[in-house]
Amino acid sequence: MSASTMEAALLLAGVLFMLGLISVLIRRNIIFMLISVEIMLNAAGLAFIVAGSRWVQPDGQVMFIFILTMAAAEVSVGLALILQIYHQLKTLDSDAASFMKG
Amino acid sequence: MELTFYIAAAVAVLSTIMVITRYNIIHALLYLVVSFLAVAVVFFTLGAPFMAALEVIIYAGAIVVLIIFVIMMLNLTQEDVQREKEWLNPSIWVGPAILSAVLLAELVYIVAAGTPPQTEGAVVAVDAKLVGLSLFGPYILGVQLCGIMLTAGIVGAYHLGRQKKKVIHRFLQERSAAA
């Protein structure tokens, strides 16, 4: 893999991460925010894979497996939280959940 | 191989842009699956075939299905038959279909081309065996921590997702029965 392709792959990871970050910032629907976090985690994993591919070592892929595990755990807990918020507030608007009274 | 990478990267960026600009969650998820598939192709071209398979199975499979199940459980009220009919409009699924078709064409090309002759600067694949040896060798502590985290995730998801029943103390029950 040539150096320019490596740079392009890292650029791709950066672009995907930025798209996820923008989506977290501009969206108010809480499910969309969770999806955006998934996009960002995926982009971070892509950067690890690129690094592992550059040095032909398995360490980057091991890190990607860890990120994958974390993303799976995160999405399950996050979706449970979304269910609770929807049952309490009857909306998916994240601004409606801006107070912290129990 | 490099052209494959660039096409898949373009598909990934395009479909991710479509994800973050959709108003309907299901449409966004449709593009999200395409985005994950495109990233899986990128992994394949970068010499990580095992990770490409995991990306398809876990991200495009499990996580997206989990989100769809939760959307179904939320039982959003404004959906009716008319809306369902509207969703099957060709203008909605033709976008993801074209992007997936590009990825399929790449897959067919890779399979048809067979193993390319090893040239200078070619991709060296790090296969699953090396990853497994590394995972259960130097990184065994990380694997155990992942197990603990997954356990905590299961318990947390169960606790948070449970619908709590309203429990009245027996004194209050007697009082409400007397009243």
Residue A41: C-alpha distances to residues A32, A64, B8, B113, B118 (Å): 14, 10, 19, 32, 33
pLDDT for A23-67, tens place per residue? 888 888 888 999 999 999 999 999 999 999 988 889 999 999 999
Q: What is the rounded average pLDDT of the residues B37-43?
A: 94
- Sequence ranges of the domains in chain A: 3-90
The pLDDT of residue B94 is 81
Alpha carbon distance A24, A16 (integer Å) = 12
Alpha carbon distance B96, B150 (integer Å) = 32
CATH number, domain B1-120, options 3.40.50.620, 2.60.40.2470, 1.20.120.1200, 3.30.2130.30: 1.20.120.1200
Nearest residue of chain A to residue B12 (CA atoms): A16
The pLDDT of residue B84 is 58
All residues of chain B having their beta carbon less than 8 Å from the beta carbon of residue A87 are: 163
pTM of the predicted structure, to 2 decimals: 0.82
For chain A, give the percent of residues with pLDDT over 70. 96
Q: Mean pLDDT of all residues in chain A?
A: 88
Q: Give B46's DSSP letter.
A: T
Determine the distance in angstroms separating the CA of A95 from the nearest CA of chain B, rounded to an integer: 17
The shortest CB-CB distance from B12 to any of A12, A59, A75 is to A12
Q: Which class is A3-90 in CATH?
A: mainly alpha
Whether residue B30 has pLDDT greater than 60: yes
pLDDT for B86-129, tens place per residue? 666 777 778 888 888 888 888 778 777 766 655 555 677 778 88
ipTM exceeding 0.90, yes/no:
yes
Determine the distance in angstroms separating the CA of B49 from the nearest CA of chain A, rounded to an integer: 10
Whether B51 sits inside 8 A of A49 (CB atoms) is yes
The shortest CB-CB distance from B9 to any of A8, A75, A83 is to A8
Q: Mean pLDDT of all residues in chain B?
A: 83
Nearest residue of chain B to residue A51 (CA atoms): B46
Whether residue B146 has pLDDT greater than 70: yes
